[in-house]
Structure 1
Amino acid sequence: MTKTPDVLCIGAMLWDVIGRAPRRMAPGADVPGRIRHIPGGVALNVAIALARWGLVPAVLSAVGRDPEGEALIAQALRLGVVTDHLARDTGLPTDCYMGIEDSEGLIAAIADAHSLEQAGGAILAPLDALPGWTGPVVLDGNLTEDLLAAIARDPRLAQADLRVVPASPGKAERLEPLIAARRGCFYLNRLEAEILAGRACPDAASAAQAVVARGAARVLVTDGPLPAAEAMANGPTLIHRPPAVTVARVTGAGDCFLAAHLAAELTHEPRDAALARAVEASAAHVSGKDVP
């Protein structure tokens, strides 16, 4: 029997190929390290983290009927993610992400999410079977700007609690239609916030406030090992400093941040406690631990 989801995660579901070197790398370096193939994509990463918090997340995405797609779905099911609402018959291959990390963090990455982009509105077809959805919906910036704009106007999601995250700084501008619609809670790093704000900001708090000034109702901004912040219209700005950790990985930290924050809010924790939980969960992820 299909489980009824608590949260919908709309966006990328793909394989992450992550190469990590234990020391700093220079451009063109060829060094020993470890390479992992793990389930990834912003939407799936958030869903997996939500499942660890005891929620029932479903992913709306495009996954091919190739061996990579079958293996990815099997892994997602094992990790507690509902996969009944995927677009499988697009004739497109399963997407993939490649990242290179060193001891200082991410060196470079390439996201091949062309199948998700080409599938377009087909990934939203399952919303017809979920009428009147009022729960949380995580939106991933791997979606095209046109599709994000359509989602902002979609009557099937008119009452949904939108949680919006860009996939990377290069895709932050895709979120403009949602800011213009004054919908959603945005989860950004400082560079992404600066892109949306249109100016440099000295810290997470000023960056979050700048995006709110652009029209967003609520914005959370992380800044690596520096304090994270939450700003909202007509409310105080909060900050929380992450604990110092040894960096073991960086890919997926923002997705863990979002999932922990959303899980805290769904149990009615106050703003400061929810921000603290998110910051601490993200730091734990960076240190190599999965929480809870």
Structure 2
Amino acid sequence: MRQPRVVVLGSANMDLVATAPVLPLPGETVLGSDFVMLPGGKGANQAIAAARAGGAAVLLGAVGSDSFGVTLTARLAASGVDTSRLRVVYGSSGVALVSVNAAGENTIVVVPGANAAFTGLSPEEIAVVCAADVLVAQLEIPLDTVLAAAGAARRAGVPVVLNAAPAMRLPAELTELVDLLVVNEREAAAICGHGREDPGALLATVPRALLTAGPAGAWYAARGEPVRHIPPVPVESVDTTGAGDAFTGALAVAWAQGRDLVDAAHWAAAAGAASARRLGASVAMPDRAEIDALYRPPVG
């Protein structure tokens, strides 16, 4: 099977991860049990996920001139991601403060750093987008940059996958460029006011959508087709921080390889489940063999 070229446009952060029995309430201090620094950011995570799932992944984004930037770039390259177009800007890299409880639930605060300076795509970056089999983007970088890349992809006939995170109402100028929208319930509610009770409501803005709901699985909706439920893959969850990114990266690879989107979503669900079995985001992204081991093909 041909290795698809997946271009990911998005953020790269250093994740500062603390684990504790419970997540603190506002004004509360709890004693933690562990602390690690792990490369993350939705763009970096999804690029690593795509590379490990069998794609030729390229990350377009920015890191800072600090030590975090050096570490992020090295870890991406070591994971098989092409970093030749990753910008280095003066100042700090993006940072995410992550708290994880004993059940694997998390809270995250992101400070964008260099990601906020990722503006004005160069002709070389536009050329990378236009040579892709699929473009994957999120919303942790400036919206104008996402619009520029999605517009270039549309003109070149490259499918655009938008993981609309963090949650926000999407402008029509962006949704009209999106071929597949991937959102969780909170993000879906921000876009259309509905969650899993009406995943088809997302089709008012995009032609295809996948709504993920953690242990409840996911729903695939496409104009002119019945909504399909993607059942969850049962695993013992340790940390769900990067599960959505594993899902999106693997989904992009499967779709770019020519699998229909229902089957691709089942395979992506296996990737998300596999990642939840380990602590961290980018370091938890599963390889193709792990995904295949958990994959359950669609029935009917």
Q: Does TM-score exceed 0.5, indicating one fold?
A: yes
Q: Structure 1 residues 106 and 275, CA, compared in 2 at 3 Å: closer, same or farther?
A: same
2:181 corresponds to which of 177, 186, 199 = 186
DSSP 3-state at the match of 2:250: helix
2:250 corresponds to which of 260, 281, 285 = 260
Q: Does 1:17 align with 2:25?
A: no
% of aligned pairs identical?
24
- The residue number in structure 2 matching 1:30 is 30
Residues matched between the structures, number: 278
Offset of residue 151 of structure 1: 3.3
CA distance in structure 2 between the aligned counterparts of 1:42 and 1:131, rounded to whole angstroms: 18
One-letter amino acid of the structure 2 residue matched with residue 196 of structure 1: I
1:1-292 mapped onto 2 (5 Å cutoff): 6-21=5-20, 23-27=21-25, 28-88=28-88, 90-122=89-121, 124-130=122-128, 132-154=130-152, 158-169=156-167, 172-174=168-170, 176-179=172-175, 181-197=176-192, 199-203=193-197, 206-207=198-199, 209-213=200-204, 215-288=205-278, 290-292=286-288
Offset of residue 129 of structure 1: 4.4
CA distance in structure 2 between the aligned counterparts of 1:126 and 1:53, rounded to whole angstroms: 26
- The residue number in structure 1 matching 2:291 is none
Q: Confirm or deny: 8 A CA contact 1:148 1:175 kept in the other structure.
A: no
CA distance in structure 1 between the aligned counterparts of 2:69 and 2:244, rounded to whole angstroms: 24
Offset of residue 174 of structure 1: 4.7
My pick for the range that moved more, 108-117 or 42-51, is: 108-117
DSSP 3-state at the match of 1:265: helix
CA distance in structure 1 between the aligned counterparts of 2:206 and 2:61, rounded to whole angstroms: 26
Q: Confirm or deny: 8 A CA contact 1:141 1:175 kept in the other structure.
A: no
Q: Structure 1 residues 24 and 245, CA, compared in 2 at 3 Å: closer, same or farther?
A: farther
Which 5+ residue runs of structure 1 have no aligned equivalent?
none
Q: Confirm or deny: 8 A CA contact 2:14 2:94 kept in the other structure.
A: yes
One-letter amino acid of the structure 2 residue matched with residue 173 of structure 1: R
Q: Confirm or deny: 8 A CA contact 2:105 2:240 kept in the other structure.
A: yes
Q: Structure 1 residues 155 and 107, CA, compared in 2 at 3 Å: closer, same or farther?
A: closer
DSSP 3-state at the match of 1:173: coil
CA distance in structure 1 between the aligned counterparts of 2:106 and 2:76, rounded to whole angstroms: 27
State TM-score, norm by structure 2: 0.84
Offset of residue 158 of structure 1: 4.0
CA distance in structure 2 between the aligned counterparts of 1:131 and 1:138, rounded to whole angstroms: 10
Deviation track 1:43-67 (CA, whole Å, cap 9, x = no partner) reads: 1101111111222111111112222
Q: Confirm or deny: 8 A CA contact 1:261 1:277 kept in the other structure.
A: yes
Q: Structure 1 residues 195 and 137, CA, compared in 2 at 3 Å: closer, same or farther?
A: same
State TM-score, norm by structure 1: 0.86
Deviation track 1:144-187 (CA, whole Å, cap 9, x = no partner) reads: 23333333434785422111113323xx32565321x2523111
